[in-house]
Structure 1
Amino acid sequence: MRQQVLMGHLTGFSTAPLVAHNLLVSPSVCMGGDSGIDHARAAESCNDDDVVIVAAYRTPQCRAKRGGFKDTRPEDLLDPVLKAVVERTGIRPDEVGDIVVGTVLAPGSRRAMECRMAAFYAGFPESVPIRTVNRQCSSGLQAVADVASAIKCGYYDIGIGAGLEFMSEHSIGWGPVDNPRIQTNQQVQDCLLPMGITSENVAERYGVSRESQDEAAVRSHKKAAAATAAGRFKDEIIPVHTQIVDAKTGQRKPVTISVDDGIRPNTSMSDLAKLKPAFKKGGGTTAGNSSQVTDGAGAVLLMKRKMAMQKGLPILGVFRSFAAVGCDPAVMGIGPAVAIPAAVKAAGLQIGDIDLFEINEAFASQYVYCCQKLELDPEKVNVNGGAIALGHPLGATGARCVGTLLHEMKRRGKDCRFGVVSMCIGTGMGAAAVFERGSNARPI
């Protein structure tokens, strides 16, 4: 009936005349939002023109200025993940229609050049274009969404959505803005708030306690440590061969970085309780319950399903929907609470249909609030830890989350059909995307 009503909107006919005009439609087994459908059966029958993900890789994520990538160039982080999506799938580099890289902090023209350099290092010919996109913390997810949209529109059949951030060199911050108009608009003023203050605003406005924030941080580290010990990140991490410079001697030592280096397995409530508020006297946001400042990169290879089938490539997931939604900049961290419902609705689903969530832990305050607001089952959210433990390389986080989500969905098999990636965005927005677990069955 919903489909018939929608067809009526599109054709200009009321529902009744649809039968007379032979426009009556019936539910398809691909419609994941119809609760009367056998989900296991529906997952095996999809459209040739579905946009699918066939590979998703990332570098390890390392602490900025102190970690394994502190002496690595940004292009040398992006290079290995771009190379991996080609070498591990066997596609020809010249088949890629575009590479879109989410990135935030570096000057735009400089980062665009670094990304182009990385593509050449990775073996892409000059005919393959590349560009950057900046939607702040959702830039990596936006890159994936942009590529999915371009494939859906028929601009090209194969594309890469990637992300890169090198926070060892570029940190969050800006100089004073000399514009008297700012004083005339409160929301404009709130766009300039330090992110830590917006975290405190969320905690104060929605009653998120310091204790609940610290508990979320402990869980993040414990889950990330357990995932690492169990080898659950091995399928998504590409080891990076680089060098570390000895601060005392200046000597360069070759190293291979293959694990995230910000995870603290022994994090405890007592340890976190000793930390002072980082942004506001008497506040609850600390260095221990906030995301880590991090270096990293990731890349996601997308194409039409028929192309993946022709090439015999395994399908990790199907891109089902994307939404970016604005919210109050003073509490920008609530973004996932407004973006997730929008993306889920666009996919024809309900929150209860989602089996797994990857929600960026920019701050524990906003992460806790969003989970509570949406009444999410804790067993479905960030099951392998989040940004408090793994780090948050701003432009790369979205690509990292897509890979982490899809590899976990693959491990869980047929009982895990739909997943969501979401994050808050500075100046007051949220972004979310819905993915369906992949299937290599032929369309029917």
Structure 2
Amino acid sequence: MDRIKQIASHLTGSGGVSALQYQSPDDVVITMAIRSPLCKARKGGFKDARTDELMLEMFKRTIEMSKIDPSLVNDICVGNVLSSAAAYEARAAALAAGFPITTPVQVINRFCSSGLMAVTSIANSIRAGQIEIGLAVGVESMSFNPDNGGPEQSELLSCNAQSADCAKPMGWTSENVAEDFGVSRDEQDAFAALSFQRAEHAQKSGFFDKEIVPFEVFQKDPRTGERSPTLVTKDDGIRYGTTKESLSKIRSAFPQWGMGATTGGNASQITDGAASILLMTRRKAQELGLEILAKHVTTAVVGVPPRIMGVGQPSICDPAALENCDITKEDVDLYEINEAFASQYAYSVKTLGIPVDKVNVNGGAIAFGHPLDEYLLIATGLNELKRRQGKVLVTSMCIGTGMGAAGVFVRDQ
């Protein structure tokens, strides 16, 4: 990264955002960023759709929207957290969708950052000259693969306090953040209400129309049990008319821990969904005549104490990513951060000292839901960055077991 900064600074005569906007044929660029609707697990539009069926539909929509021959894709990386059969499902779904047998597939899992890690893995392979075109996909069915928490640990691990904390419930980590850093219930409800209100406004205004691709999935008739195809076109977890006052009436989800300030209203919903990002060199994109949405600049990953895993995003990983790019928080036009819990959302915004009107401007996981593999941030962020004619997007997320990740993207002007 230092070498990249030196070259860009020399060619542009400056550093910062100007250097990042320098266009090289070797840039790793994004030519497609799409997502499915996000649907409430066990209740929403995808409740009867298996993980492999969501993968299949995402691959089909990718081939349809990418504007390239699928045989040109040199590698596919799929982010998935919960499915124990993900490696089988991803390869089979890609073949069934129309990718040739010559296109390899891998699966990556770093919990909530798995979608960003898939993008990073493909981007790094392109940067290293190993491939020219690659596809990063994120898919999660929490309906078919519920998150049952950490596994039982061997006593060889659990005797270590930090190791034991890795298996603790995420609600416990939310309460730890709230108590350790003084994030009140009132403050959490206020941030959560803002997420719902922004998402409601964005959905009603049609802001998501360019990033969402309709998904045809099977839904089960509750009377007969028969499955029939249904077209799902929009997010179904946004609760219209949500206010801080209405959220304040919801009882504590974890009264046994901390201040008991985390509730079903100020924490992310459990959700099903998918997203797809097509990456290649700028040289290849220009050769194929494709529109370039943005380039991937860098990804930073950090570790934090597991008991307060929420502080990994973005208060620690974002500064690391910005330092890699030689830019400051003031240079960033939009932040898309994972709202796993309002406690860490509020903490992160305050700690970074960034204006709330730059963060999750169309709502976040509290309103849409959190498919565990937080892949939608890039598609949503790039769509909004283009709408606002902004330059720099940062996406970030906290990660179970105590980590954080952030990615930096620059829109083509």
For residue 90 of structure 1, the aligned residue among 64, 67, 86 is 67
Residue identity opposite 1:295 in structure 2: D
Aligned to 1:149: 124
Contact 1:159 1:301 in 2 (8 A): yes
Aligned to 1:81: 58
In structure 1, C-alpha distance between the alignment counterparts of 2:95 and 2:343, rounded to whole Å: 41
In structure 2, C-alpha distance between the alignment counterparts of 1:30 and 1:103, rounded to whole Å: 42
In structure 1, C-alpha distance between the alignment counterparts of 2:14 and 2:128, rounded to whole Å: 20
1:321-379 per-position Cα deviation (integer Å, ceiling 9, x unaligned): 10010001110001111100001111111111111000010111001101100001111
Please state if 1:418 is matched with 2:392: yes
Aligned to 2:164: 189
Aligned to 1:325: 302
Please state if 1:235 is matched with 2:218: no
Aligned to 2:369: 391
Contact 1:199 1:285 in 2 (8 A): yes
Q: Which has the larger radius of gyration?
A: 1
Deviation of residue 252 (structure 1)? 3.2
In structure 2, C-alpha distance between the alignment counterparts of 1:297 and 1:221, rounded to whole Å: 21
Residue identity opposite 2:335 in structure 1: F
Residue identity opposite 1:299 in structure 2: S
Contact 1:68 1:261 in 2 (8 A): yes
Name the % identity.
45
TM-score between the two structures when normalised by the length of structure 2 = 0.94
For residue 405 of structure 1, the aligned residue among 378, 381, 397 is 381
For residue 291 of structure 2, the aligned residue among 314, 319, 329 is 314
In structure 2, C-alpha distance between the alignment counterparts of 1:192 and 1:259, rounded to whole Å: 34
Aligned to 2:16: 33
Q: 1:123 to 1:272 in 2, by over 3 A?
A: same
In structure 2, C-alpha distance between the alignment counterparts of 1:253 and 1:177, rounded to whole Å: 39
In structure 1, C-alpha distance between the alignment counterparts of 2:166 and 2:79, rounded to whole Å: 21
Q: Root-mean-square deviation (CA), in Å?
A: 2.0
Aligned to 2:322: 344
Contact 1:80 1:238 in 2 (8 A): no
- Kindly tell me the number of residue pairs found equivalent between the two proteins: 408
Q: 1:25 to 1:307 in 2, by over 3 A?
A: closer
Deviation of residue 32 (structure 1)? 5.1
SS at match of 1:434: strand
Deviation of residue 178 (structure 1)? 4.8
SS at match of 1:56: strand
User: Unpaired runs of 5+ in structure 2?
Assistant: none
What pairs with 1:371-390 in structure 2 (closer than 5 Å)? Answer: 371-390=349-368
Please state if 1:158 is matched with 2:133: yes
In structure 1, C-alpha distance between the alignment counterparts of 2:302 and 2:398, rounded to whole Å: 10
Deviation of residue 412 (structure 1)? 1.3
For residue 427 of structure 1, the aligned residue among 385, 401, 404 is 401
In structure 1, C-alpha distance between the alignment counterparts of 2:354 and 2:261, rounded to whole Å: 23
TM-score between the two structures when normalised by the length of structure 1 = 0.88
Please state if 1:169 is matched with 2:147: no
Aligned to 1:68: 45
Aligned to 1:210: 185
Using the TM superposition, name which of 261-270 and 175-184 deviates more.
175-184
User: Unpaired runs of 5+ in structure 1?
Assistant: 8-23, 440-444
